[in-house]
């Protein structure tokens, strides 16, 4: 939330803000907090700059000896972990560094990129932003400054907005490449052992046979149903059916899926609740999928 307050101060200077850097820093800060607890809260910028070097020199002893107001962090859990299939041994330093690095780097880029696409669409489609604001207003108590975690599940339209962002703007055209450990018959297609398989999943959300008017940003397609305001999930994890797979599918799908959805709902909810987001005069927003959408300027007004 520190970053939102920072945005309020920036806004008072009436200057455009390059939001990407703020989104990225906020997301990274949150993941550092979850990963290491609050011991490094005033050093996050340094960690961001030297994350790989810091992780490779990471000292367990120093971490274990300090108090942590944040409670149990990811690294605490990893340090406590015993691997039952491997003589109950603990993780070694290389494994710890690999897991923390994956957590910080994977989580930051993916969530920031999605956050930026969602905000870009809210700027482009003001009626969606307005509807989302009114939905948040309906749920929040009078005078509430922020959207809290408990409020999120009462705002189904917020989740629908994020899902629509993920449908239109997947992280990339492919999922991770996998290799076959043995000969496989995949729906009649014979794959020999030791071949690399790429899943081309990026276009699924734009398939007109599955999605009506796929190029239109319309969160309502993740519709409110059952008359109780609940959003139909459309099963983006692929457990029932597969219509899009922004987090992959199956055993190796994104292990940060629930966390990412929570972070995105929390960030988008608060950004829309606190500020009104607008396109800059003379700065057309680039909607092309270049998978490196780092230069967008938005204009926002404090609500
Ligand atoms: C909007 C945000 C995110 C998106 C769209 C996303 C998407 C993905 C995708 C497509 C994969 C590959 C799945 C496959 O190949 O089948 C993946 C893997 C992974 N993601 Fe995410 N991710 C997001 C956020 C996060 C976050 C916040 C974390 C953790 C903090 C995370 C941790 C991981 C890990 C550890 C893997 C590897 C899983 C494995 O190989 O078993 N992701 N993610």
Which ipTM score applies to this complex? 0.98
User: How close is the Cα of 242 to the center of ligand 1, in Å?
Assistant: 17
Q: How far apart are CA 263 and CA 240, in angstroms?
A: 24
Please report, for residues 6, 46, 91, 159, the alpha-carbon distance to residue 146 in angstroms, rounded to integers and kept in the order given: 14, 28, 39, 17
Q: Which residue has the tokens 């039952």?
A: 84
Please report, for residues 134, 161, 218, the alpha-carbon distance to residue 127 in angstroms, rounded to integers and kept in the order given: 11, 12, 10
Task: Using the predicted structure, report yes or no on whether residue 187 has a pLDDT greater than 70.
Answer: yes
Q: Which residues line ligand 1 (CB under 6 A)?
A: 31, 102-103, 106-107, 110-111, 114, 171, 175-176, 246-248, 252-256, 259-260
Q: How far apart are CA 119 and CA 132, in angstroms?
A: 12
Alpha-carbon torsion (161, 102, 173, 179), positive or negative: negative
Number of the ligand 1 atom closest to the C-alpha atom of 250: 16
Task: Using the predicted structure, report yes or no on whether residue 213 has a pLDDT greater than 70.
Answer: yes
From 34, 110, 245, 261, give the residue whose CB has the most ligand 1 atoms within 8 Å, as the site to mutate: 110
Q: How far apart are CA 154 and CA 136, in angstroms?
A: 9
Please report, for residues 7, 12, 34, 251, the alpha-carbon distance to residue 143 in angstroms, rounded to integers and kept in the order given: 20, 21, 29, 44
| pTM for the full predicted model | 0.83
- pLDDT of 264 reads 96
64-112 pLDDT, tens digit each:
445 555 667 889 889 999 988 878 899 999 999 888 888 888 788 899 9
User: How close is the Cα of 302 to the center of ligand 1, in Å?
Assistant: 33
User: How close is the Cα of 270 to the center of ligand 1, in Å?
Assistant: 24
Number of the ligand 1 atom closest to the C-alpha atom of 249: 16
24-50 pLDDT, tens digit each:
888 988 998 898 888 777 778 777 775
User: How close is the Cα of 198 to the center of ligand 1, in Å?
Assistant: 16
- pLDDT of 50 reads 58
Show Cβ contacts of residue 254 under 8 Å, excluding neighbours closer than 6 positions. Answer: 110, 247, 248, 260
Percent of the chain beyond pLDDT 70? 77
Between CA 139 and CA 147, with CA 141 as vertex, the angle to 5 degrees is: 65
Nearest protein Cα to ligand 1, atom 31: 256
Calculate mean pLDDT across residues 57-61: 43
From 247, 250, 253, 261, give the residue whose CB has the most ligand 1 atoms within 8 Å, as the site to mutate: 247
Nearest protein Cα to ligand 1, atom 18: 254
Task: Using the predicted structure, report yes or no on whether residue 4 has a pLDDT greater than 80.
Answer: no
């Amino acid at each position: 939330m520190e970053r939102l307050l920072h945005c309020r101060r920036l806004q008072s200077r009436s200057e455009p803000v390059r939001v990407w850097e703020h989104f990225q820093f906020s997301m990274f800060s949150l993941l550092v907090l979850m990963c290491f607890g609050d011991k490094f809260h005033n050093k996050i910028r340094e960690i961001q700059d030297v994350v790989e070097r810091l992780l490779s020199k990471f000292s367990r002893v120093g971490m274990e000896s300090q108090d942590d107001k944040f409670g149990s962090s990811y690294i605490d859990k990893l340090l406590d972990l015993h691997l039952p299939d491997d003589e109950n041994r603990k993780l070694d330093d290389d494994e710890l560094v690999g897991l923390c690095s994956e957590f910080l780097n994977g989580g930051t880029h993916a969530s920031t990129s999605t956050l930026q696409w969602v905000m870009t669409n809210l700027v482009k489609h003001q009626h969606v932003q307005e509807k989302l604001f009114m939905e948040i207003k309906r749920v929040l108590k009078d005078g509430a400054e922020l959207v809290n975690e408990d409020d999120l599940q009462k705002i189904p339209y917020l989740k629908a907005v994020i899902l629509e962002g993920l449908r239109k703007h997947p992280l990339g055209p492919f999922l991770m490449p996998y290799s076959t450990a043995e000969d496989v018959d995949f729906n009649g297609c014979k794959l020999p052992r030791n071949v690399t398989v790429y899943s081309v999943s990026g276009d699924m959300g734009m398939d007109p046979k599955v999605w009506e008017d796929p190029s239109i940003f319309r969160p309502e397609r993740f519709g409110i149903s059952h008359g109780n305001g609940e959003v139909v999930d459309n099963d983006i994890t692929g457990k029932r059916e597969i219509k899009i797979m922004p987090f992959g599918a199956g055993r190796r799908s994104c292990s940060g899926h629930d966390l990412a959805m929570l972070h995105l709902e929390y960030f988008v909810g608060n950004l829309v609740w606190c500020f009104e987001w607008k396109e800059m005069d003379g700065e057309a927003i680039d909607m092309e999928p270049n998978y490196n959408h780092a230069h967008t300027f938005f204009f926002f007004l404090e609500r």
